[in-house]
Amino acid sequence: MLALVTGPGGFLGRYIVEQLLARGDSVRGLARGDYPELAAAGVEMISGDLADRDAVDRAVTGVDCVFHVAGKVGVWGRWFDYFRSNVHGTLNLLGACQDRGVDRLVFTSSPSVTFDGRHQKNVDESAPYPTKWLAHYPHSKAIAENFVLSVNGQPLADGRELRTCALRPHLVWGPRDHHLTARLIERARSGQLRRVGDGHNLVDTIYVENAAEAHLLAADALAEPDSPVAGNAYFLSQGDPVNCWQWIDDILALVDLPPVDRAISARKAVAAGLTLERWHWLTRNWNEPRMTRFVARSLSTHHYFNIEAAKRDFGYLPRVSTEAGMQRLGEWLDSDRGLRVAD
């Protein structure tokens, strides 16, 4: 098939591109940046922004399936920026798919669309969206996800239907991770990393190659008649929650850093986050505060999910174990590029 991947140069997006190419699919990428290495690999690159409907129309013309991975991430910033990228951009893409006759779309969502600041233990897809939000990112992703799922079954001009689904991978990590892993290492090296809470909270994670494979499996399942995947959201993980702070210590050990030995209570972290958020808001500082309420709650509560629906409906299994993934991550961090990112 010819697949469009939005955000093909990002962490997860690039793995999806590579897996599509490896199995013989043709790939087109929509991105604002320039990625000559993707073009050299055979990816047809379209330069443009998701908020630009003309660019989106060009990108979806003639494709068989869309993997919508791009979006604004982070826990701080202006609502307009999150809405423009995550909501308006997604609506542009959905409209273009309907106008151009694209009948499959897989949306990369987040488990945070169900997070209200409390523990999440073995949560399944019946969990509702919160009524109050701790950050713009999960709020905007929830709005976008709701739109994606609500248009499932909409008729196309040729009589087919648009089939959609949303995937919610939790804490994606692995080689080439310029965000989560690099940030943990940077904060540990600068002495800014603190354990939040009692250190006993369990979290789900997912190795990046497993997350990418899940996207391909879901897209293939959407092509089946009466697909059970159509119109549904799915949690994704390794299927085996880990202690959050032991996992962080294990990542730090890969670059010979000591375990996190300083701590702050969850209550104090939430209070500090609220204070810093108010100060950044008053001063119109859109750089991320050192602590926010969302981060404090995320680091001190349980987050693990039931992935039986993904196993049942499109055959997802985490082929790369956490142990094997950590070994691969360590090898990357030992490489020249990995060390430069970590440093």
Within a domain: residue 329? Answer: no
Whether 341 shows a pLDDT value over 60: the answer reads no
Kindly indicate the confidence band of residue 158, based on its pLDDT and cuts at 50, 70 and 90.
Answer: confident
Which residues, in sequence order, are CB contacts of 197 under 8 Å at separation 6+? 263, 265, 266, 269, 299, 300, 301
Just list the catalytic residues: 137
Within a domain: residue 138? Answer: yes
Q: Could you count the other beta carbons within 10 Å of the beta carbon of residue 274?
A: 15
- Listed residue (54, 80, 77, 64) closest to 26, CA to CA: 64
Kindly indicate the confidence band of residue 335, based on its pLDDT and cuts at 50, 70 and 90.
Answer: confident
Within a domain: residue 178? Answer: no
Q: Say if residues 26 and 64 touch (Cβ distance below 8 Å).
A: no
Within a domain: residue 327? Answer: no
Q: What is the pLDDT of residues 70-123, one digit of tens each?
A: 999 999 999 999 999 999 999 999 999 999 999 999 999 999 999 999 999 999
User: What is the per-residue pLDDT for 77?
Assistant: 92
Within a domain: residue 257? Answer: no
Q: Say if residues 241 and 257 touch (Cβ distance below 8 Å).
A: no
Within a domain: residue 225? Answer: yes
Domain count, the chain: 1
Q: What is the pLDDT of residues 240-259, one digit of tens each?
A: 999 999 999 999 999 999 99
Within a domain: residue 146? Answer: yes
Distance CA 11, CA 180 (A): 10
Whether 261 shows a pLDDT value over 70: the answer reads yes
**C-alpha Rg value of the chain to the nearest Å:** 20
Kindly indicate the confidence band of residue 336, based on its pLDDT and cuts at 50, 70 and 90.
Answer: low
Within a domain: residue 188? Answer: no
Kindly indicate the confidence band of residue 24, based on its pLDDT and cuts at 50, 70 and 90.
Answer: very high
Q: Which domain holds residue 158?
A: 2-172+206-237+304-318
Q: What is the pLDDT of residues 48-67, one digit of tens each?
A: 999 999 999 999 999 999 99
Distance CA 11, CA 34 (A): 15
Whether 342 shows a pLDDT value over 60: the answer reads no
Distance CA 251, CA 240 (A): 17
CATH of the domain at 25: 3.40.50.720
Q: What is the SS3 assignment for 102-164?
A: CCEEEEECCHHHHCCCCCEEEECCCCCCCCCCCCHHHHHHHHHHHHHHHCCCCECCCCCECEE
User: What is the per-residue pLDDT for 339?
Assistant: 55
